[in-house]
């Protein structure tokens, strides 16, 4: 049995990895790199219903 857990949309229940996209959350800066560019927290967006949610 695998310990791999799929990301699931809490709104519509979509588990298709091709329909769930990670994108940067521009409201939350985790840290600034050595070059001074911000590194953002990543959040997920469902490709079916458009719901944005945090990756657990």
pLDDT for the residue numbered 55: 77
pLDDT of residue 56: 64
What is the pLDDT, as a whole number, of residue 53?
92
Domains of the chain: which residue ranges?
Answer: 20-54
Distance of CA 19 to CAs 24, 50, 56, Å? 16, 10, 17
Residue 3: the pLDDT is 55
Report field, pTM of the whole predicted structure over 0.75? no
What averages of pLDDT result for each successive group of 10 residues across the chain (56 residues)?
A: 72 91 92 95 93 84
């Amino acid at each position: 049995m695998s310990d791999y857990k799929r990301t699931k949309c809490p709104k519509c229940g979509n588990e298709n990895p091709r329909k769930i996209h990670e994108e940067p959350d521009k409201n939350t800066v985790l840290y600034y790199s050595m070059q001074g560019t911000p590194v953002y927290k990543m959040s997920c967006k469902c490709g079916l219903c458009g719901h944005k949610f945090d990756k657990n």
